Structure 1
Amino acid sequence: MACALTVSATMVGASLLGTGTAAASPCGNASSGSSGSSGSLDLGSLGGLGSGSSSNPSTGPQGALPIYATNVSRTVAWVTGPRSPNLTFSRFTISGTDLGVSWDNGYGQTLMAFGDTFGDCSVSGQQWRHNVLLRTDDKNLTDGITVPDADPTSTTSGSVVTADRPTYAQQLISAVGFQGVEVTTIPTAAISLPRPDGPGFRQYMNYMSVRSWGSAGNWVTNFSAIAYSDDNGQTWTTDTDTILINAPVDFELPEGWRPLDTNNGKFQQNAYFRGHGADSEWVYQLGTPNGRFGAAFLARFHPDDILDLDKYQYWTGTGDVWVDTIREIPEGTSQIVPPPVTEVSVSWSPYLNKYIMLDGDNGIRIRTADKPEGPWSSAFTLVEPGAVVLYGPMMLPQSPALKGTGKELYFNASRWSDYNVMLVQSDLSKVPK
């Protein structure tokens, strides 16, 4: 039987939130040598281009939306921050955050999970949360993403809040909060799948436990794990049987423990996507090592088996040859994309009739493939490096290019200098076929 750890948004105590100091510095981008989910202060030094940002004692450094418009891509609107149309500081106590991992909850609503999140920069602890959730029913993204008000009595409202703090987005998954032990827990992938115990859908989120931040683009993880929610993201349960401990060792642990393996490191940051056509029976998991300098690897599983890692298969790098355990992944041949691969999102695009992969830590790039294991194309630039300085592109599931209704692809992208998430639109008709 799976051993589970239940974490309720209403159970996160001051002992966790108040422990240690936030590793990120978005309230002023202090050059502390550490950073938040971006993992790179270099992004901050480059990211001042165009926004005219200036740090506010309470609401942080967010500036005006950088104007970027080419025949391929354009910036649309801020998704988060005090200067966003969603006014997330006054409505959800979010002055700064990043990532915005996005997925359809199975009922047509889009959920967005964010990384390290800050509120009032002028108070002790800066109201730091390791992760938060926003929800939207907005299907027309041409002018941005609209997030409704939060309601503590509703599991479909704009965020997870409590009755005594109705404008404070609650933390979802806790962490110890000590550098060198566990500084934060950051969502990297999410998906909804049919509930195994009845009708409806269950939400699954893959997250990384960060032990420490390093130099630009480098961080160390303790493990990756899967948490699930049966109440549309209000509360999350980490299934400890899904923990992949990241350690440079390879040996058997006592009975009842999942074996340690060096290949665990290949799946510390992840992206989920559904197979298409002949591959539709599978859900795929693209994995990368911690940081921004690793290759991409591939696993697959049937939807009912997402929490049973013993039923996963891993691509070997040869044709349609898959192995049944993570330990069997061969070295040198099993990567689907060579390094460097950064925070990534993947989906099938009916418009291109191909799988598409987005990543980038300065500019944003796209790759395409006919099959999940590739071969993947060379990268095509959607947002030029240095123009806006974005990272962590997370595709929005309601994009016309993903729904089969148009060529427009929308994705969340993070900007370190403003430490907030913006919406970007790209025209996939410009992507080489």
Structure 2
Amino acid sequence: MSALRRSVVLLTTACTAAATLAGVGLAGPASAAPCGNEGLLGSSPLGQALGNAFGSSGAGPLLGRSSAQGALPVVDSGNTRPVAWVTGGRSPNRTDTRFGITGTDLGISWDNGSGQTLMAFGDTFGDCNAPRQQWRHNLILRTTDTDPADGVTIGDGVPGDVRSGAVVASATPRYASESIPALEVSGVEVTTIPTAAIAIDGVQYMNFMSVRQWGGPGRWVTNSSAIAVSRDNGQTWATDPKTVRLNLPVSIPGVEQIDDSNGKYQQSAYLRGHGEDQYIYQYSTPNGRYGAAFLCRFLPGNILDLSKYQYYTGDAGDPWSSETTKSKAVVTEPVSELSVSWNKRLQRYLMLYGNEANGTIAMRTATRPEGPFSAPVTLLTRQQLGGVYAPYVYPSTGGDDRYLYFTASRWLDYNVMMLRTDLSQIAVG
């Protein structure tokens, strides 16, 4: 989608949304602190520093040149332990000096199909005293590390090298480039954030959400979700307009997939079927962290054709439908950022997500992609490690299937860490 066409779509959406936004109650900022700001995007201390995306004035005090990342947290009870920081100045990767990353989140990881793991990160900050605090809406890092037991090692970024550790320009070889731009206009489009990714036949596909407005902790409003495509290993990305799922019942020429049920598919996780199952499954939630999880599936060659998607209905006699409106929840709310994978040790599908209501990172299992899913098993509580969110399964175990490795982010540090769950301590029915 061209920048002009994207602007027209989003501005039209914003006009239609104006009355809706008035009744949503978007009073407070989210609760993160990149560069020492009181909130992540949308709080007044960021105003002049980052411009009209935040609709405020006056830049508040900053905490030096980087985000306030602490030492790796220690968890001495339960089934899950932090392994290492992946990002930040305290990480072995020193992303502050090597990639201009002092604060970021998410770290969605997937096998690129040719010996690398790609990782997609959300809103990213660098030098906190630089113009706009070196804010990028999202970016990609790459690694060949298949043993996460001591964390993830990311190689140097090399200009023009599509297999190097980061996408960098020759003029700024120590500054990771943004992947998908945003308009940066509050109430229209503040940012664009990856939510899921997968490789099919050497092509990379990344699902992302266009955020219209931040709300209170765990709440935000999206314009849409869509799929961006990269045919050069994440070096460049192009949004396919046919995959846009608008989060409002509006009519935009050339975008046909518009109905109220698209709101269920704003944040996603991809899963490959196990064994002879040829389908790719897409689990999704509405915007924010308080919705249920829904499910659709498609054959790999149809990922960009939403008309070929099938939606889980919950009807045992007719479980899959081409109608989005028949999509039923597979896991009840609240489900925040999630990831799903097949686990060899457990011989089950495994879902990780955050529960915003009780402050836990939870795991559920199922023998079929559509479930039924087990009751949640707690991996972390807020008492053990507060402010942790967005658990994404890492696609390698280093050869030891006792452990499940996943990345997660913590508000206090606004950086991504690798964690490890001891599956021998997990009972499954």
For the Cα contact (< 8 Å) 1:363–1:388, is it kept in 2?
A: no
Matching residue of 1:415: 410
Match of 2:273 among 267, 272, 275: 275
Q: Does 1:393 align with 2:391?
A: yes
Per-residue Cα deviation, 1:137-178 (whole angstroms, up to 9, x for no partner): 111211111111110131111100010000000000000011
Letter in 2 for 1:348: W
* Alpha-carbon shift at residue 61 of structure 1 (Å): 0.7
Amino acid at match of 2:196: A
Q: Distance in 2 between matches of 1:92 and 1:143?
A: 21
1:158-173 equivalence runs, <5 A: 158-173=165-180
Secondary structure class of the residue paired with 2:96: helix
Q: Give the unaligned 5+ runs of structure 2.
A: 5-28, 44-61
Alignment RMSD, CA only?
2.1
Q: Name which of structure 1's ranges 134-143 and 83-92 shifts more when overlaid on structure 2.
A: 134-143
Equivalent in the alignment of 1:98: 105
Report the CA distance between 1:25 and its aligned residue: 4.4
Q: Does 1:353 align with 2:347?
A: yes
CA distance in 1, matches of 2:133, 2:184: 14
* 2:342 aligned partner, one-letter code: W
Structure 1 residue identity aligned to 2:405: Y
Alpha-carbon distance, 1:34 to partner: 3.9
Shift of 1:120: 0.3
- CA positional deviation for 1:33: 8.6
Tell me which of 283, 289, 292 is aligned to 1:292.
Answer: 289
Secondary structure at the counterpart of residue 429 of structure 1: helix
Q: Tell me the alpha carbon deviations over residues 361-417 of structure 1, each in whole angstroms, 9 at most, x when there is no partner.
A: 4331100001111000111011122321210001100125xx7x5121111100011
Q: How does 1:320-359 map onto structure 2 within 5 Å?
A: 321-329=319-327, 334-359=328-353
CA distance in 1, matches of 2:214, 2:137: 14
Q: Distance in 1 between matches of 2:152 and 2:313?
A: 39
Aligned pair in 2 of structure 1 residues 153, 291: CA closer, same or farther (>3 Å)?
same
Q: Provide TM-score, normalisation by structure 2.
A: 0.85
Deviation of 1:259 (Å): 4.1
Q: Residues 241 and 255 of structure 2 are in contact (CA less than 8 Å); yes or no, is this contact kept in structure 1?
A: no
Q: Which residue of 2 aligns with 1:72?
A: 79
Aligned to 1:11: none
Distance 1:31 1:150 in 2: 30
Q: How is 1:16-415 mapped onto 2 (pairs within 5 angstroms)?
A: 25-31=33-39, 34=42, 56-194=63-201, 201-247=202-248, 249=249, 253=251, 256-278=254-276, 280-319=277-316, 321-329=319-327, 334-360=328-354, 361=356, 362-389=359-386, 390-399=388-397, 405-415=400-410
- Aligned pair count reads 381
Q: Deviations over 1:240-290 (max 9, x none)?
A: 00000001x3x7x47743142000000000000101135x21000001000
What's the secondary structure of 2:239's corresponding residue? strand
Amino acid at match of 1:61: A
Give the match's secondary structure for 1:423. strand
**Residues 341 and 349, structure 2, Cα contact 8 Å, conserved in 1:** yes
Relative to structure 1, the CA distance from residue 214 to residue 363 in structure 2 (aligned partners, 3 Å threshold; closer, same or farther) is: same
Shifted more, 374-383 versus 385-394: the winner is 385-394
Cα distance in structure 2, aligned partners of 1:72 and 1:156: 35
Which residue identity is paired with 1:158? Answer: G
SS in 2 for 1:167: strand
In 2, the alpha carbon distance for the partners of 1:104 and 1:6 equals 29
SS of 1:336's partner is strand
Give the secondary-structure state (helix, strand or coil) at the position aligned to 1:27.
Answer: helix
Which amino acid is 1:163 matched to? S
**Gap regions ≥5 residues in structure 1:** 8-21, 36-54, 195-200
Residues 157 and 318 of structure 1: CA distance in aligned 2, closer, same or farther (over 3 Å) = same
Q: Deviations over 1:177-222 (max 9, x none)?
A: 111110000000000011xxxxxx0000000000000011110000
One-letter identity of the residue aligned with 1:213: W
Report sequence identity in percent. 52
Query: What displacement does 1:72 show?
Result: 1.1
One-letter amino acid of the counterpart of residue 368, structure 1? T
- Is contact 2:297-2:311 (8 Å) kept? yes
Q: Tell me whether 113-122 or 319-328 shows the greater mean CA deviation.
A: 319-328
The amino acid across from 1:423 in the alignment is: M
1:100-127 deviations in Å (ceiling 9; x for gaps): 0100000121000000000000122000
The answer for the alignment partner of 2:59 in structure 1 is: none
Shift of the 112–255 alpha-carbon distance from structure 1 to 2, 3 Å rule, reads closer
Contact map agreement 1:5 1:240 (CA 8 A) in 2 = no
- CA shift in 2, pair 1:33/1:188, >3 Å: closer
Separation in 2, partners of 1:407, 1:34? 42
Q: CA offset at residue 6 of structure 1? A: 8.2
